[in-house]
Structure 1
Amino acid sequence: MVSDDWRRLAALQGGLLTREQLRALGVDRWAVRHRLASERWVAHTPTVIGTTTGELSRAQLLWLGVLHGGPDAVVGDLSAAEVAGLRNWHRDDVTILVPHGSFVGAGHPGVVFVRTRRPLRDWRRRGRGLPVCRVEPAVLRFASTQRNPRVAEGALAAVVQQGLTSPNRLEEWIGRMQPLRGADRFRRALAEIGGGAQSTAELDVRRMCRAAGLTQPVRQVRRRDASGRLRFTDCEWRLADGRILVLEVDGGFHMQAEHWEHDIARQRALTSPGRIVVRCTARELRDEPERVARDLRLLGVPAP
């Protein structure tokens, strides 16, 4: 039955259908107009109809974007990475990539349409369901648009750290996406990420040590604190006298009162007669690496 056909498709698309899909399934414009007038359906855009009412969920917003964007539209950038499972990089607006020359009109609040000449069909993740860009070209395209290189490198480090891809696959896609703004910088960052750096702070520590002529630290070491709890330290060096120097890097969220107090307690628990714990901020590593390097050298961090 016609009713069953549109209901089945709507169930697969978050309750959303295009007018063209409805027409192909035998639901004429008069039936659509009647359901809209009776407020059983909602016209979210001139082309996309919602068969349910109420505020759109995140999944529905993604479907709305690709349905409105046309047959070649895909979820892109960090929105695609979020669908793939990326955590802690949420953006309120969803990004939809559409072919260059596509007309999307005013679109919809919360959806950003990006026109591109890139081969979106080749970028699309295999399988049925929501049209989503593969995580590698999605994150690399996002990184190439960032003015702040730390944001770009942080996104690359995050997708590798969270197991969504590998440095080798990202390197391969850099070659496939040429020309790509920032490609050389991304290759250098991926080489460091492949060597064990898991975040922008760890990348900054590696670069600081290389520039200052200090031994590279051992990162993410498992340690038992004074209470026996298992913890991971950011960076460690073994000093000439046998003691361990630990550097803990505090990000912006550490400045909040509850995190600050937790970190103080963590430092106290990790400190022992054979282990010194010092701290710096991610801002210091970024803006004053020579100052941090000088203090580490005075504490006994050796040259390579």
Structure 2
Amino acid sequence: MSRSFPLPPPPRRAEISPRRPERSIPADDADELTWLLFRQADVLTGTQARHHLGASALRHRVRTCRWRQVHRNVYLTHNGPVDAEQRLWIAVLGCGKGSVLAGLTAAIRCGLRGVRSDSIHILRPGGLRTITPPAGVLVRRTETLGGDDVNGRGLPPHTTNARSLVDAAAWARSDDEARMLIAAGFQQRLVGADDVHQVVHRLPTLRRRALILSTANDARGGSESLPELRYLRAARRAGLPEPSRQHRRRDSAGRVRYLDVYYEQWGVHVEIDGGQHLDVRRQWADMKRQNEVWIAGDRILRFPSWLVRDHPHEVITQVRQALQSAGWRQ
């Protein structure tokens, strides 16, 4: 019969932080066990504990409630609350040899901001025996988990920035969420150039392979937000010309400005306002009237991100009119 090891309820999603809680650094002459507990946030496997203390000492600490068993062969070396860092170590150690944090959990660990994870995601080599993971842990297997995919200095062990983002996108609940994760990785400078492509080419059976590659292509070309990516997809489907993205331009004061989407040959700018403009849809009515005036003049078009998402045909219609007014012929 399998034993259960109840823990306090999982932390709120916002508590799963990429930052490690402050712990006292051991003295230089501290013993191996003290340093091991420091590195692993006071979480040990039974094998590690027996190696440093012996089986009887381990049993005594558990029996006297100084330590407690939190999963099969995993021990917490105090009887207080379990913090977010310790939950990650319990997940990694509880899933056995070769296990690493992966997907969205690892991406947050690598520094990805603005996202949350309900579960702890673990990746294990495919050839290892099946295990029962700790509560709140999702385990996936892979045949590709070499040195290029694992952060060798990460604690707890986790996949690299690029592999974390690719797996998170593949495991995402929707295509839009997958696109957002890849775009955010580029926007926050966690990945660049060909990082994502190199990971994808090592994973021939990857879910959403084409979507991840196309999103990475657009993101490294300058479109690093989900509304811009949505606009580009709609514009391509409509047969509009390919624009430049994040085009540099100096304003009248000499300051460098970046244009979201710029059709340079026809002098048409498309600016997509982000989430801060989502509160009142009346703003779109004002924008639309302003755009209709600009179509015949300056050809600077602004759209709220919700309109790009929910009514892309309205956006494309006005951009097409602006391009045609500037001399473009489809």
Post-superposition shift, 1:234?
4.1
Question: In structure 2, what residue type is equivalent to 1:155?
Answer: L
Matches within 5 A, 1:118-133: 118-122=143-147, 123-127=149-153, 129-133=155-159
Post-superposition shift, 1:237?
6.0
Match of 1:97, SS?
strand
**Residue 249 (str. 1) matches residue 273 (str. 2):** yes
Deviations 1:247-288 (A, max 9, x none): 33344x75457xx99xx9xxx9xxx99686633334x32443
Query: Which residue number corresponds to residue 297 of structure 1?
Result: 320
TM-score for the superposition, normalised by structure 2 = 0.72
Query: Which residue number corresponds to residue 185 of structure 1?
Result: 211
The structure that is helix-richer by fraction is 1
**Residue 211 (str. 1) matches residue 211 (str. 2):** no
Q: How many residue pairs align between the two structures?
A: 286
Matches within 5 A, 1:147-162: 148-162=174-188
Query: Which residue number corresponds to residue 303 of structure 2?
Result: 279
Q: 1:197 aligns with which of 223, 228, 244?
A: 223
| Alpha carbons of structure 1 residues 22 and 173: separation in structure 2 relative to 1, 3 Å | same
Matches within 5 A, 1:9-24: 9-24=36-51
Please list every run of 5 or more consecutive structure 1 residues that lacks an aligned counterpart in the other structure.
none
Query: Which residue number corresponds to residue 139 of structure 2?
Result: 113
Question: In structure 1, what residue type is equivalent to 2:272?
Answer: E
Post-superposition shift, 1:102?
3.4
Post-superposition shift, 1:59?
1.9
TM-score for the superposition, normalised by structure 1 = 0.77
Post-superposition shift, 1:127?
3.0
Identity between Structure 1 and Structure 2 (%): 28
**Residue 77 (str. 1) matches residue 100 (str. 2):** no
Is the CA contact 1:73–1:120 (under 8 Å) kept in the aligned structure 2?
no
| More displaced 10-residue stretch of structure 1: 291-300 or 12-21 | 291-300
Distance across 1 between alignment mates of 2:278 and 2:220: 30
Post-superposition shift, 1:46?
2.2
Matches within 5 A, 1:83-98: 83-98=109-124
Post-superposition shift, 1:51?
1.1
Post-superposition shift, 1:172?
1.6
Post-superposition shift, 1:177?
1.2
Please list every run of 5 or more consecutive structure 2 residues that lacks an aligned counterpart in the other structure.
1-29
Matches within 5 A, 1:259-278: 278=302
RMSD: 3.6
Distance across 1 between alignment mates of 2:94 and 2:146: 17
Post-superposition shift, 1:13?
0.3
Query: Which residue number corresponds to residue 311 of structure 2?
Result: 288
